[in-house]
Structure 1
Amino acid sequence: MWAMSESVPVRCPACRREHLYSAPSYPCVCGAPVAPSLDRHGTATAVTHPVWEEDWITLRCTTCGRRAQWPRPELGCPCGTLLRVPLAGPPRAPGPRGRRPRFQPVTIRTARDAVTAAALYLRWLGFKDIRRADQRPPSGIGLAARGLLAQVDPTVRPASSRDVECLWLTAMTESATCVYFSLAGYATDARVRADSLGVPLFVLDLTGTPQPVNGLADEMDAKGT
């Protein structure tokens, strides 16, 4: 049975009735509970036209670091209004972490250079002991670190949604976070699928600098490990 988080007051904007709401926690693949943080002082909004993409949020497990999508907290008021419960923003760091040095890329001329560029970038993000992955991916080359599985695709074919799904499934079996690097970019359905599965996507430009493609990659680039 799912555990419940701390109760917060939620007022219906239609009838002004106040409720106490506790968001359920969901089991991560590692077994740890994952629950959204609620904004105690935020204002609930009425859902008038449900949109499937807006019914899900991406949460990160604080135990293993894995990201996954879970239902957005909502509450049905007796007056018939469906309420979207406000979420708290991400917690701020307790103090300054110091500035990272600039990433030093390597020019990409060969497939091996692409793998080297991705490995250097992961090390720059803070991942340790970068190595070849034990399992070879269907396309490209796999890299691994503690709690991380990466795929580097140096081909001239844009990565497909199936490529992203295969990486995600392999990472899930290993309880690891995953990230995809592609030299030729991504098909539109691959980007959509990556966002739904919580997979950061990067494109390797010819200077050897990984460029974030989606919001998850932007966050990884900004924060590192």
Structure 2
Amino acid sequence: MSESVSVRCPVCRREHLYAAPSYPCTCGAPVHPPLDRHGAPMAVTHQVWDEAWVAVECAVCGHKAEWPQPELGCACGTVLRIPVSGGQDPAPGVEPGAGDPAPPRRTFQPITIRTARDAVTVAALYLRWLGYQDIRRADQRPPSGISLAARGLLAQVDPTVRPASPRDVECLWLTAMTESAHCVYFSLAGYTTEARTRADSLGVPLFVLDLTGTPQPVNGLADELGAQT
């Protein structure tokens, strides 16, 4: 269980007791980002993807993977980034998961979706659960949402309240085609009927992100992807 640390908001000076959330390692053990008790929290004025993740090593199997940087929302409206002690950078020259034996797949552990960032985190966790360990933000900017990339895969995460359209699906498919990669779409608001039809014809797996944090397959391609071992 993660230890709690006292955090003071640098804006309003309120005191908070914060415990880092746990995430499931591929071996099934819970992983907690190690909090720096002596570090000062930083007020986040805007989110930068590269700064929103931290590399954490599993204490059980030693596998290192990237997880969301601990953050806390203060009652004054300030988002505080909680400092993490040591070992924040991935090992140089080593891709997470490269050459590692594939462990038996555990049950996916959902994370409640409250923000757009939570939706992106859930999609990244689900892709990692499927076996894609080198999840990162893609270089391309989609028409809506955020693109995630892994070796041989391009994923789009749309956390808006608008159902994805056929054009959204086509743009993802075309971008993936130019990179000779497979693609998958995650949407918080679902898809139009036309988008589902277009996805089936193009071979794009579709998932809906429910608020409990569990990606739900929308078409048969998504069912097949989620059933892979």
TM-score of the alignment, normalized to the shorter chain, above 0.5: yes
Distance 1:216 1:99 in 2: 22
Matched residue, 2:227: 222
Distance 1:109 1:98 in 2: 30
Matched residue, 1:120: 125
Indicate the RMSD between aligned Cα atoms, in angstroms. 1.2
Matched residue, 1:171: 176
CA displacement, residues 181-225 of structure 1 (integer Å, 9 cap, x when unaligned): 00000000000000000000000000110000000000000005x
Matched residue, 1:207: 212
Matched residue, 1:133: 138
The one-letter amino acid of 2:216's match is Q
Structure 2 unaligned segments of length 5 or more: list them.
1-101
1:186 is paired with a residue whose SS is coil
The one-letter amino acid of 2:180's match is S
2:203 maps to 1:159: no
TM-aligned CA deviation for residue 99 of structure 1: 4.4
What pairs with 1:21-36 in structure 2 (closer than 5 Å)? none
Distance 1:149 1:169 in 2: 11
1:117 is paired with a residue whose SS is helix
Distance 1:175 1:140 in 2: 21
Alignment partner of 2:193 out of 188, 200, 221: 188
What pairs with 1:104-119 in structure 2 (closer than 5 Å)? 104-119=109-124
TM-aligned CA deviation for residue 173 of structure 1: 0.2
TM-aligned CA deviation for residue 123 of structure 1: 0.0
Distance 1:174 1:164 in 2: 16
- Aligned length in residues: 128
Matched residue, 2:42: none
TM-aligned CA deviation for residue 98 of structure 1: 7.3
2:186 is paired with a residue whose SS is strand
TM-aligned CA deviation for residue 100 of structure 1: 1.4
With normalisation by structure 1, the TM-score equals 0.56
1:144 is paired with a residue whose SS is strand
2:148 is paired with a residue whose SS is strand
With normalisation by structure 2, the TM-score equals 0.55
1:206 is paired with a residue whose SS is coil
1:122 is paired with a residue whose SS is helix
Distance 1:194 1:139 in 2: 17
Distance 1:194 1:216 in 2: 9
Structure 1 unaligned segments of length 5 or more: list them.
1-96
CA displacement, residues 117-142 of structure 1 (integer Å, 9 cap, x when unaligned): 00000000001210000101010000
